[in-house]
A and B are shown apart, each in its own frame.
Chain A
Amino acid sequence: KAGVTQTPRYLIKTRGQQVTLSCSPISGHRSVSWYQQTPGQGLQFLFEYFSETQRNKGNFPGRFSGRQFSNSRSEMNVSTLELGDSALYLCASSLEGVNEQFFGPGTRLTVL
């Protein structure tokens, strides 16, 4: 069974640009969560999608948005990039009623 996949793995952007990251959950998983990991703030919850609906949202500005498609694949978008958005963005998927969240390898975003 394939794990969670994230594309691209690495990304370099400049300030002011926007970026879209993609996450494909494990087959059958309908919940997808996104996390940002930085050396200073650690791991922080961005949002969670379930059956194409955003169910929970963390404390991030509106520049961070996401969506989920009918096949459970999810994308997150960051507009007007700032230097502080440089981070490892992790996606996790889970199955209803199961405690474990399975994480993907992450997308490392560098904003110059």
Chain B
Amino acid sequence: AQKITQTQPGMFVQEKEAVTLDCTYDTSDQSYGLFWYKQPSSGEMIFLIYQGSYDEQNATEGRYSLNFQKARKSANLVISASQLGDSAMYFCAMREASFLSYTGANSKLTFGKGITLSVRP
């Protein structure tokens, strides 16, 4: 069964510095997708970045980049130039290919426990 591990209980970073949030995963599928979501105290899950298992380049979305190391089964999120608004819970998630429908639509994300990030002014 698929599993996502996020072991950092809480992270602190100074404003304008970079921070790396760790994520390791376990799956027997060759095809899968990895996601990072941000959850502020309001509760809504905000999509940040996606990495496909066959993507050769690491994904980047603005200040977010994903350090994908397939052999080590890790998908760490790097946030550059942290801002106060980055303070939130961050979740790593995985979707296995077996849960893709013929339409290619999404289903069943498996989430890690999350990491709390606090940005200090």
Q: Interface of A with B (CB < 8 Å)? A: 30-31, 33, 35, 42-45, 48, 50, 55-56, 58, 88, 90, 92, 94-106, 108
Contacts and interface: CB of A to CB of B under 8 A. Distances in A.
The DSSP consensus for interface residues of chain A is: strand
A43 B33 contact: no
A42 B114 contact: yes
A97 B99 contact: no
Contact of B105 (A96, A103, A106, A108): A96
B111 interface: yes
The 5 closest A-B pairs by CB, nearest first: A103-B45, A43-B111, A96-B103, A97-B104, A48-B107
B38 to A, nearest CB: 11
Nearest to B111: A43
The DSSP consensus for interface residues of chain B is: loop
Interface residues of B, number: 27
A95 B104 CA distance: 9
Contact of B47 (A43, A44, A101, A106): A101
B42 A105 contact: yes
A75 B113 CA distance: 26
